[in-house]
Amino acid sequence: MTNNPAVGSLALPPSDSTRANASPANVFTPIPTTSQRVTIPKPSGKSLGGILDLPIESVQGYILMAHCFTCSKDLKAGFRLARGLAGLGWGVLRFDFTGIGHSEGDFSKTNFHTTQEDLLAAAGYLKQHYAGPTMLFGHSFGGATAMSVANKIDSVRSVAILAAPSDTGHLADILVNMDPRIESEGFGEVTIGGRKFPIDRQMTDNFRSYDLSRDIAALKKPLMIFHSPADLTVGYHHAMRIYSLLMQSNKSPAVEASLMTLPQSDHLLTNDLRDIAMLVQWLDAWARRLAE
C-alpha cells in the first residue's frame, strides 16, 4: 500500500479516451432516481452525514456502502456506483465516517472500532426508517470494516468488497512512515490526496492490535471480492489472502466466496468508467440472486 489519494477491482483493457470517459449512464438504462441527505445519530451523541439514493419506483432492497480511508461518501466511484444501483431499483445509503465530510467528530480520535460503530449505526438507521440492508459494500478500508461487522447485521445476506486489505496493521506502518512523530510524540499529520489529516497514536496502535483475519475466517455471509493486480494502493495479494482465509476456515456450511479479478483498474476506478458499469451490473445480479 502506498501514498495514493486513497489510503485504504474489475477492469477492461485500456480504451480510447472517449470511451473511458463516457458516462456510466450510457452503458445501461436506469430508472429515474432521487437523492436525499440524511443525518444518522450515534449513541455518543454525534451524528454522521449521509446520502440515500433511491429509485422513484418501488425499492427492492437496501445496500449500505462504506468508503475508503480518508475518502468520503462523495468519492466519484462511490457516487457513480450508488446512482447506478439506485437506477436498477436499489436504495443505497452512503455516509461519511466520523470526522470526515459532513460527519461530526475528531478524525484523529477515530480507529477501526469507531468505523465499525459508524457502520452499525448506519445499518440501524436504515432498519429503523426503511429496512435493514441486504448487502454491505465496502471500498478499501471500508471493505475491511464491512467484513468485520457483517455477522452482526441480521438483514445482511451478502458482502461485496472492492480493493480491500486483509489486515489493518499495514496501514499503521504506512501512516507512521509518513510522519514518525505519530509514534515518537503521540501525534502527527499526514497528507493524503492533497489534504492534511491529524493522526493520534491511539489510531495506529488500534490498527496494529486488531485481528481482522479472525473476522474474515468467521464470516458467515457470502462474499464477493473485487480487486485488480494493477492496484498500487492495496496489493492484489490482499484479495488472495482474504479468499484463502475463507477457504481454510472450518465453518459448516462453507461460506460462498467469489474473487473477481479486475485487470488494469486503478484503486479508485477512475481510469475507465466502464468498470463502474460492470461493477453495478454484477452487484445487482448477485444481490438479486441472493435475495431470492
**Residue 48, pLDDT score:** 98
Q: What band does 292 get if pLDDT is binned at 50, 70 and 90?
A: low
Instruction: Pick the more confident residue, 3 or 73.
Output: 73
**Per-domain residue ranges of the chain:** 17-291
* β-bridge pairing 135-139 and 195-200: unpaired
**Residue 2, pLDDT score:** 36
Encode pLDDT of 6-57 as tens digits: 443 222 223 333 223 334 434 455 789 999 999 999 998 999 999 999 999 8
- Amino acid letter, 111: N
How many whole angstroms separate alpha carbon 103 and alpha carbon 129? 19
Lowest mean pLDDT among 70-84, 171-185, 241-255, 256-270: 241-255
Q: Which residues of 104-143 are buried (b: 16+ CB within 10 A; e: fewer)?
A: ebebbebbbebbbbbbbbbbbbbeeebebbbbbbbbbbbb
How many whole angstroms separate alpha carbon 114 and alpha carbon 174? 20
Helix H or strand E segment including 38: strand 33-41
Domain 17-291 has CATH 3.40.50.800: no
How many whole angstroms separate alpha carbon 171 and alpha carbon 93? 26
How would you write 87-149 as a 3-class SS string?
Answer: CCCEEEEEECCCCCCCCCCCHHHCCHHHHHHHHHHHHHHHHHHCCCCCEEEEECHHHHHHHHH
**pLDDT over 90 percentage in the chain:** 76
Residue 292 CB: number of other CB atoms within 10 A?
4
**Rounded to whole angstroms, what are the CA distances from 139 to 30, 60, 145, 177, 220?**
23, 23, 9, 23, 20
pLDDT at 74 > cutoff 80: yes
Task: Read off φ and ψ for residue 32, nearest 5 degrees.
Answer: -60, 145
**Residue 16, pLDDT score:** 30
pLDDT at 208 > cutoff 60: yes
The radius of gyration of the chain from alpha carbons, rounded to an integer in Å, stands at 18
What would you measure as the largest C-alpha separation in the chain, in angstroms?
55
Grid coordinates representing 106 are 475528531
Closest CA to 135 of 58, 219, 64: 64
pLDDT at 143 > cutoff 70: yes
**Residue 273, pLDDT score:** 80
Mean pLDDT of 78-92: 95
N-term to C-term CA, the chain: 38
**Residue 27, pLDDT score:** 44
The average confidence (pLDDT) of the chain is 88
How many whole angstroms separate alpha carbon 57 and alpha carbon 283? 19
